[in-house]
Amino acid sequence: MKTSPAPISAVRRERGSSVLSILRDMAISYQLKPGERLSEIELAERLGVSRTPVREALNTLATDGFLVASSRGFVRRPLDIQEMQDLYEARMAVERECLRLAMERATAEQVRALITFLEHSKSVAPDTPVRELVALDESFHLQIADMAGNAELRRMLASLNERIRFIRWIDMETVGRDSTQKEHRQIARALKARDWAAGEKHLGAHIGLRRDQIVEAITRGLARIYLVEGL
């Protein structure tokens, strides 16, 4: 029996997804150097594809925060350690207040929903795309912000998430989900018990550890770039 060829649109989607995956990996592994101007034509030639999937991938990476638009295309976003530390310090302040208010205002139903969400996310396959893993991580924290019942705090947290999302890709690639899951469960148990001291402790350790790991990852990546350039 003769097999029908895949629709052209499906082939294009598969090819575009592959190009996006390759370029994202290049950004995470610092093959695209911070501050480097990217040439759509050169990347297309390097990957052996047309410019269309490259253009689509670059636009997606810009949306995810890896790239910034310039007058002539895109530039790999510079990595500023102080900026990351400032953003995580702001995140700590916002999330601490969200958790405090959630302890006061969350309903038993909301807490149960959070625990059910954690049980579901624990069952997610290890080979789940990092984009989905980061979305699950963000969703946990945003649910606590929802429990706080303060729309402005939730908006601030969502805005911070957008600004640090690209670096959380790197964190998720290097750290994985196991430690994150454990820390989330500790926070959820403290919330269920309305134990502010334990909740603040676990939340502070969770965000502080991520900040330190990300600073280390950036430092290590930049050192690797300079080492290669010096050879």
Of 45, 76, 107, the last residue of a domain is 76
SS3 73: strand
DSSP lists the bridge partners of residue 69 as 74
Question: Among candidates 68, 55, 71, which has minimal Cα distance to 20?
Answer: 55
Q: What is the pTM of this model?
A: 0.73
DSSP lists the bridge partners of residue 37 as 75
- How far apart (Å, rounded) are the C-alpha atoms in residues 1 and 50? 33
The pLDDT of residue 9 is 38
- How far apart (Å, rounded) are the C-alpha atoms in residues 170 and 66? 10
Q: Give the count of alpha carbons within 13 A of 100, CB side only.
A: 10
Identify whether 2 is part of a domain.
Answer: no
Identify whether 145 is part of a domain.
Answer: yes
Identify whether residues 58 and 169 lie together within a single domain: no
Q: Which uninterrupted H or E stretch holds 177?
A: none
Residue 3: which pLDDT band, with cuts at 50, 70 and 90?
very low
Domain ranges, residue 134: 81-228
- The predicted-structure confidence for 143-194, as pLDDT tens digits, reads as follows 999 999 999 999 999 989 888 887 777 666 555 567 788 999 999 999 999 9
Identify whether residues 53 and 87 lie together within a single domain: no
- The predicted-structure confidence for 24-73, as pLDDT tens digits, reads as follows 888 877 788 888 899 999 999 999 999 999 999 999 999 888 898 888 88
Of 54, 76, 98, the last residue of a domain is 76
